Structure 1
Amino acid sequence: MSHGDVESEKAFPNGDVYNGFFDGPLPHRHGKYTWSDGAIYEGEWENGKLTGKGYIFWSSGSVYEGELCGGFLHGYGTFSSIDGSVYKGSWRLNAQHGLGTKTYPNSDVYEGSWREGHQKGIGKYIWGNGNMYVGSWKEGRISGRGVMKWMNGDLFYGHWLDGLEHGTGYYYFADGSCYLGTWSKGLKDGRGTYYPAGSRPPYQHTRYKSYLCNDCTRYLCPPLSVKYATDESVLPGFSLSREVLMYKLSTYTHKASISIDTETKQVSSISNSISWEGKNSNFSMRKICSLLGRSEKMSNRPTTYDGYCDFGDSFGSISLSDKWLTHFTLSNGGQSEQQNDVNVVYEREYMQGVLKMERMVNQHLLKPGINKRLHKKPKNPVGGRGETIYRGHKSYYLMLNLQLGIRYTVGKITPVPVREVHSSDFGPRARIRMYFPHKGSQFTPTHNSVSFHWKDYCLMVFRNLREMFKIDAADYMVSLCGGDGLKEISSPGKSGSIFYLSQDERFVIKTLKKSELKALLKMLPKYYDHVGAYDNTLITKFFGLHRITVNCGQKIRFVVMGNMFCTELRIHRRYDLKGSTHGRSTNSDKINESTTLKDLDLSYVFHLEKSWRESLFRQLSLDCTFLESQSIIDYSMLLGLHLRAPECLRSSLESESKNESPSLIIDNFGTYKLDELIIPSKGLLLVAHEPGSVSGMPGSHIRGSTLRAAPAGDEEREVDLLLPGTGRLRVQLGVNMPAQANRRLLREGGSDSSEADLFKAYDVVLYLGIIDILQEYNITKKVEHACKSIKLDPLTISAVEPKLYASRFIAFLEKVFPEHI
């Protein structure tokens, strides 16, 4: 009789016992292993490894029943924790992965997609009181597009980020009113429209709401969630306060994982010495223990909310003040119109949850084009600009070609030792060429795009420029060539160029005309010297110059640049400032949240700290002198504003919602000594910069030095900007610069008398830089200047000789950033 046909028992010196079948010296087929502390595995084995179906009983009381493979929880199984939570679904290498359902001890249930132990993809979360969210998840948090409905009948459909509304959304009140607008980190932020009960939202949003309520899962509808579509319980009413939502969606306790962590440590400690007779190799539960020991992979949701169940009747970000404001606006001389007047809607603008402007509009008088533009469903959330390029998009194959070429180029140049550039590294002949056939070649991989020719200019120069601005080659390729693809954004100018944005928004790719490519190659040696000499230059940062030629002969030229608005803060206003006045205003019908405004649209002046203003104009003078030397005109200052809600109202809002003192708010970012804080007159908080610290989102601007500021009587110190809801933001020239914006008199006809701007001064954070530096003052521009000068004042047009352009540009900016009086 063979050894494998007999069930036998094996005892170990440490007290562990195996009882089952063997194949030679190893467990095989079926057996039971008991650890000295009482933990038990009973089930199938294969060549000494837990493989097949089985049970694991921990001494603490937790149980796993299901499939295993090679010593891992792998396949379909159920894990019951001692705290009462139960996960039932797919596993991969000891982590929840695939479709699964987790029930929490407080009766909350998540059902949907998991990836590597986290909720990711489409899922449905039902709170114990009946509240429900259906939509996208990422890394265990609500992120992406989804629907939430509360017990009182309110419903929100829109974009989420880390458990908070972030981007465009539709909020439907139970009484039939509706608000269409934008949110930023859970607060209404930007323009939107409020439709009182009884009014008719455009594009049949009432029907749209009904569709979301009755069949929201099918609407969100990857194949994963189709099985929920017939569930009549989808989106029952629910109610949840702002604090509770933030707690639930962004805070994770470890109670559910304590038992798993403890159990796996026990298993690990008592199984490491197991050695089967006749084998030198160590047989143990190490694989399963080492991975189960990562407790955060086993539980990613809070396990008890019992202390947070006193839910309110409305969602925190849409307070009853919306309806109160509507009632207040409707009142006239003590008389109130009915709120359900079907002809009246309210255009509003919010700033970090504070109402900045409200305008009552007769709905029937709205221009159809404006109405459609204001309320059409955007393709992407406001938090991320542009339209993601997907398979079938007109730019999809172009994006694939660009990514293939950049991978090839960066991979080719990165291993080359760093050296100083030579004159031979510049110019149109400093290039490499490669053909990328669809089926691949000896030097190129196969790909799913069309065949194309790739040309890359000045590899060593741009490699050194990337290193000069501390951009890691791997990060560069991940940003531009990662699996998420690029985003296409509309051109803010008249050039007809197409712009692409990396998913992390660190880099912008712009198509160039042939003349612009020649201008860049011509100025590149001097540009390289200039940005090398001045760390704080405001001129556009260039990181790569490429050309793609498809088989039909069409040539497309690209330049990769740093994104000046690479920030976690929302940019509320964008301005393109040249200093000229002819044609430098924007048609009011074309203005929306993402519009880049022009010189005559600017209605504010900005007051900077004195030394910062001096540094700004010192660098502007150096940069403009360089551009003048290269005969460049038509450049502009790209100015981005992040507006902060007025201190008095924001403080009131924070005290009402959090009931915290200012010192407690500061403590959210760490404990600082009083002498480290520098508080400007208007309330933006500056904190002494810690040497070597990393602040904010990495961007293409991290090379510049940190600006300095000084409290009264002290020497100047480097500072960071501290804002609620963000980390420390490094203050540099043109990046994260706090200022005060004061409204100035508008040009005639520049203000809509029906709009009431509630505030005249704001704390702002500025982002600025010089862009469009590739237009030479050539014969074409000279002819344009001569022709326009016949009918117009020569000083008001853009096409003027470089020296005049530079002086006019600086003079205009001196008015935009006036000195303190």
Structure 2
Amino acid sequence: MLKNRMSKEQYGIVKAWESKVRKSQQAVVAKKRTNSLFTTMSVAPADDDPGEIFHAEKVISNGDFYTGQWADNLPHGHGKYLWTDGCMYVGEWYKGKTTGKGKFSWPSGATYEGEFKNGFMDGKGTYTGSLGDTYRGYWVRNFKQGQGIKSYSNGDYYEGDWNRGLQDGHGRYQWKNGTHYVGQWRNGLIDGCGTMVWSNGDRYDGSWEENLPKGNGTFKWADGNFYVGTWSKDPKEQNGTYYYQSGSSGESDFDPNEVYMEYLNDFKISSCEKIPVFPSQKVIPWSANESDFLQKQPIFRRGNDSSGKPRRTSVDGRVSNYCRESPTDSSDGIEGYGNSELQSCRGYKQKPFSLQPVKKQGLTIAKGHKNYELMLNLQLGIRHSVGRPAPTTSLDLRSSAFDPKEKVWTKFPPEGSKYTPPHQSCDFRWKDYCPVVFRSLRKLFKVDPADYMLSICGNDALRELSSPGKSGSFFYLTNDDRYMIKTMKKAEVKVLLRMLPAYYKHVRAFENTLVTKFYGLHCVKLTGATQKKVRFVIMGNLFCSEYHIHRRFDLKGSSHGRLTDKPEAEIDATTTLKDLDLNYIFRLHNVWFQDFCRQVDKDCDFLEQERIMDYSLLVGLHFQEASYQEPLTPEEQAAGINTPPGYFLASRFGDLDNQANPCTSRADIDQLISDPTRLASVRLGISMPARAERTARRTDYETQLVGEPTGELYDIILFFGIIDILQDYDISKKLEHAYKSFQYDPTSISAVDPKQYAKRFRDFIFRIFVEDT
């Protein structure tokens, strides 16, 4: 026994250390315990594996104590280290460095349990402070970095992005009384665009700077009245207009300083508890004197374990004697390592492709851009249309509201007029098509007028997508990604106006319809010699989400010309792939699958009745638990430092501590469906947890539109909707069908009769979307 192998004095020192650490842990008030569910994934041994592995018990020259696995005069494998100051580490080691899964304890009672790399807290882990604060999420070289959740001892919490230990990026902070902020952060401060909602229902949406409103913003009271204007703590820079719930402007005694003096005075951002000393700062003076060992017992030698079987090490060098067989024990941290032996481990799913950080699409329309004045005209027009006084109407509209001649022209001279403000753009005229109908549609789609105005007309410019669509239309995105603006041909405007009564009836009858949501139809006409008209429609952006979309597909069910003509190396998260690029089938929970089938049938019937064809199902995939590795700097390469994760994507569904299995089980999704609070943000086609199964085609693409299932499953968040619904089967499409039918299989081309198109579309969709059994 240990006591017999060491002196009474040494034994007493070790037991005193252990007792001191144990008592300090028990003294922490309200400390939150977290379960460690980490696992190890094994790979083939490397050439630089250590030699003989021992179990050692060693008193270090400075009085520290180590017990655990030992190789080449260094800790290697699993072991425990006790420092004389009361700190303790229990976990995995690699060549004398804390590397792998482990737990570090401070004498104050604080603990960190999670992943280590080369002595640093690096990867996924949980820190619990001595005062009860906790942080669960990702770390890079001792700093909170990536996605994480911070719970403060005073009851506040923050969930979102971190950078070098501070809130930075997008996140949500909630105070103990229920007031919360959702939006952008910079260096630990509220900075950028965001929304603050007070517990009484009042809210502010707009720009922030250093925890205070600054720039364009809207303050909305719980009763529906709102104030739109420019915000600043300096009263000289304040300017705005008060609106009633109906949208009409009026006089008010509201003073913006009330927000600064009263609303924000009691809401401060809690500071993070300082870590007393980082594990990487704990110097360990290893020595190789045989006399220092209290015990040294061989475990196995290089290349074989005690049973004579080949030994393996983990991807970061940790010792492991077996390949885990249970699917629930598969590792979720193996991105960037490729080895054919991994395929033999049941439950391991290779990453579908190399995931890169997703950047915002499009080019910001700044001053000097060719469409800068057009953007200003559009924003002026939208502000006028939405803010114009209008009587409160019910959703039951008269037929006259749908009359194509029901439109309103407004002149916008640069010097301003009785109804329009002065502006710095060119002279133009603004047209609203069927304004009552689209106002009712926005109400039906639960779009807040102030939010809508702020998204399109706020401080931030629109972004123009890099290339126009196949139709020649241009696309613009609002800065918050909520809305997409598309320029339209006159023929498309006519189609939308013709089908508007049926469209309104359909979206009102089916709340979960998958067809595109239209919020407004407008026209800008430049005055002068050019008399140029630009018609455009405002639509919802299907991919506006806190999830990054890693793959997107435009699916029609046809095969001719439905392969992306892009080299594999150039395909990224912004590339829209087509039918013959699709290499997955999507498995939906039975509740959602039944709803999905019914809604696809209803939407296809509607489009067929309106003689619409050539539409698509736009599908976006977010692969859960994906990570991306940044390249090393030359200095880091020279120092032998591992590549730190620079970008993390974490699942919103499920605990950060409980995601060892890369695939969500049916039981997990069953639990999600039965939990109303978690289900609230999930709708048909929006943020739907599902599973994607990889498929493989034969070499003859043209004869196999859907590949054969391979059994490889991935946990995904799914987005989908039916787009491009403004193409009717007109004479040009009939001629296109006749011409291409001579050259290709008539069933493979896109331009077919609406009835045939709907049948083919449905058949294809129901082959790639299946019930998860």
Query: Which residue number in structure 1 is paired with residue 485 of structure 2?
Result: 509
1:110-163 per-residue CA deviation (whole Å, 9 max, x = no partner) reads xxxxxxxxxxxxxxxxxxxxxxxxxxxxxxxxxxxxxxxx999x9xxxxxxxx9
Quick one: distance in 2 between partners of 1:718 and 1:805?
38
Query: Which residue number in structure 2 is paired with residue 523 of structure 1?
Result: 499
Among 761, 765, 770, the alignment partner of 1:809 is 761
**Taking structure 1 as reference, are residues 796 and 437 closer, same or farther at Cα in structure 2, changes over 3 Å only?**
same
Quick check: 1:547–1:558 contact (8 Å CA) kept in 2?
yes
What letter matches 1:479 in structure 2?
S
Among 302, 312, 316, the alignment partner of 2:271 is 302
Task: Report how far residue 504 of structure 1 moved.
Answer: 1.7
Aligned with 2:696: secondary structure?
coil
What is the TM-score with the length of structure 1 in the denominator?
0.49
Quick check: 1:580–1:796 contact (8 Å CA) kept in 2?
yes
**Taking structure 1 as reference, are residues 248 and 637 closer, same or farther at Cα in structure 2, changes over 3 Å only?**
closer
Query: Which residue number in structure 1 is paired with residue 608 of structure 2?
Result: 628
Quick one: distance in 2 between partners of 1:312 and 1:631?
71
**Taking structure 1 as reference, are residues 747 and 504 closer, same or farther at Cα in structure 2, changes over 3 Å only?**
farther
What letter matches 2:538 in structure 1?
V
Query: Which residue number in structure 2 is paired with residue 681 of structure 1?
Result: 665
Matched, 1:585 2:537: no
Aligned with 1:796: secondary structure?
coil
What letter matches 2:740 in structure 1?
K
Quick one: distance in 1 between partners of 2:172 and 2:277?
13
Task: Report how far residue 646 of structure 1 moved.
Answer: 8.5
Query: Which residue number in structure 1 is paired with residue 327 of structure 2?
Result: none
Query: Which residue number in structure 2 is paired with residue 236 of structure 1?
Result: none
What do you get for the CA RMSD once the two structures are aligned?
4.7
**Taking structure 1 as reference, are residues 807 and 390 closer, same or farther at Cα in structure 2, changes over 3 Å only?**
same
Matched, 1:534 2:526: no
Matched, 1:548 2:510: no
Matches within 5 A, 1:318-717: 355=335, 382-418=358-394, 420-491=396-467, 493-551=469-527, 552-589=530-567, 590-645=570-625, 681=665, 684=668, 687=671, 709=673, 717=674
1:602-630 per-residue CA deviation (whole Å, 9 max, x = no partner) reads 00011111232121111111111110111
Quick check: 1:719–1:731 contact (8 Å CA) kept in 2?
no
Quick check: 1:686–1:719 contact (8 Å CA) kept in 2?
no
Query: Which residue number in structure 1 is paired with residue 164 of structure 2?
Result: 245
Quick check: 1:248–1:302 contact (8 Å CA) kept in 2?
no
Aligned with 2:765: secondary structure?
helix
Quick check: 1:354–1:645 contact (8 Å CA) kept in 2?
no
Quick one: distance in 1 between partners of 2:653 and 2:717?
19
Among 776, 779, 792, the alignment partner of 2:728 is 776
Quick one: distance in 2 between partners of 1:543 and 1:500?
15
Matches within 5 A, 1:26-37: none
**Taking structure 1 as reference, are residues 818 and 301 closer, same or farther at Cα in structure 2, changes over 3 Å only?**
closer
1:538-563 per-residue CA deviation (whole Å, 9 max, x = no partner) reads 11011100001112211111101111
Quick one: distance in 2 between partners of 1:385 and 1:251?
24
Query: Which residue number in structure 1 is paired with residue 322 of structure 2?
Result: none
Quick one: distance in 2 between partners of 1:535 and 1:292?
36
Aligned with 1:307: secondary structure?
coil
What letter matches 2:554 in structure 1?
D
Quick check: 1:734–1:768 contact (8 Å CA) kept in 2?
yes
1:161-218 per-residue CA deviation (whole Å, 9 max, x = no partner) reads xx9999xxxx9x9xxxxxxxxx97489xxxxxxxxxxxxxxxxxxxxxxxxxxxxxxx
Query: Which residue number in structure 1 is paired with residue 7 of structure 2?
Result: none
> Which segment is superposed worse, 507-516 or 729-738?
729-738
Quick one: distance in 1 between partners of 2:173 and 2:537?
43
Query: Which residue number in structure 1 is paired with residue 699 of structure 2?
Result: 748
Gaps of 5+ in 2: 1-117, 123-134, 150-160, 176-256, 283-313, 319-330, 340-353, 628-643, 702-709
Quick one: distance in 1 between partners of 2:374 and 2:549?
29
Task: Report how far residue 748 of structure 1 moved.
Answer: 2.4
Quick one: distance in 2 between partners of 1:426 and 1:600?
40
Quick one: distance in 2 between partners of 1:571 and 1:746?
24
Quick check: 2:688–2:719 contact (8 Å CA) kept in 1?
yes
Task: Report how far residue 253 of structure 1 moved.
Answer: 13
Query: Which residue number in structure 1 is paired with residue 738 of structure 2?
Result: 786
Aligned with 1:793: secondary structure?
coil
Task: Report how far residue 295 of structure 1 moved.
Answer: 6.0
Quick check: 2:363–2:463 contact (8 Å CA) kept in 1?
yes
Aligned with 2:621: secondary structure?
strand
**More RCO (CA 8 Å, sep 6+):** 2
**Taking structure 1 as reference, are residues 507 and 353 closer, same or farther at Cα in structure 2, changes over 3 Å only?**
farther
Aligned with 2:379: secondary structure?
helix
**Taking structure 1 as reference, are residues 400 and 311 closer, same or farther at Cα in structure 2, changes over 3 Å only?**
farther
Quick one: distance in 2 between partners of 1:566 and 1:352?
27
Quick check: 1:576–1:596 contact (8 Å CA) kept in 2?
yes
Quick one: distance in 2 between partners of 1:666 and 1:494?
40
Quick check: 1:641–1:766 contact (8 Å CA) kept in 2?
yes
Quick one: distance in 1 between partners of 2:616 and 2:669?
30
Among 696, 707, 717, the alignment partner of 1:765 is 717
Quick check: 1:645–1:762 contact (8 Å CA) kept in 2?
no
What letter matches 2:768 in structure 1?
V
Task: Report how far residue 418 of structure 1 moved.
Answer: 4.3
**Taking structure 1 as reference, are residues 410 and 594 closer, same or farther at Cα in structure 2, changes over 3 Å only?**
same
Quick one: distance in 1 between partners of 2:337 and 2:475?
32
**Taking structure 1 as reference, are residues 438 and 628 closer, same or farther at Cα in structure 2, changes over 3 Å only?**
same
Quick check: 2:517–2:539 contact (8 Å CA) kept in 1?
yes
Quick one: distance in 2 between partners of 1:165 and 1:484?
31
Quick check: 1:462–1:543 contact (8 Å CA) kept in 2?
yes
Quick one: distance in 2 between partners of 1:454 and 1:529?
27
Quick one: distance in 2 between partners of 1:539 and 1:808?
17
Quick one: distance in 1 between partners of 2:172 and 2:431?
49
Aligned with 2:418: secondary structure?
coil
Quick check: 1:253–1:302 contact (8 Å CA) kept in 2?
no
Quick one: distance in 2 between partners of 1:629 and 1:771?
17
Aligned with 2:276: secondary structure?
helix
What letter matches 1:305 in structure 2?
K
**Taking structure 1 as reference, are residues 432 and 312 closer, same or farther at Cα in structure 2, changes over 3 Å only?**
farther
Quick check: 2:137–2:656 contact (8 Å CA) kept in 1?
no
Quick check: 1:575–1:596 contact (8 Å CA) kept in 2?
yes
**Taking structure 1 as reference, are residues 456 and 605 closer, same or farther at Cα in structure 2, changes over 3 Å only?**
same
Task: Report how far residue 450 of structure 1 moved.
Answer: 1.2
Task: Report how far residue 746 of structure 1 moved.
Answer: 2.8
1:373-408 per-residue CA deviation (whole Å, 9 max, x = no partner) reads x99xx9xx8353322222222222111110100111
Quick one: distance in 2 between partners of 1:405 and 1:791?
47
Quick one: distance in 2 between partners of 1:435 and 1:637?
39
Task: Report how far residue 488 of structure 1 moved.
Answer: 1.7
Aligned residues: 451
Gaps of 5+ in 1: 1-149, 155-162, 174-182, 188-241, 255-285, 314-323, 329-350, 360-373, 648-655, 671-678, 689-708, 710-716, 722-727, 751-757
Matches within 5 A, 1:174-213: 185=147
Quick check: 2:315–2:337 contact (8 Å CA) kept in 1?
no
Quick one: distance in 1 between partners of 2:730 and 2:261?
68
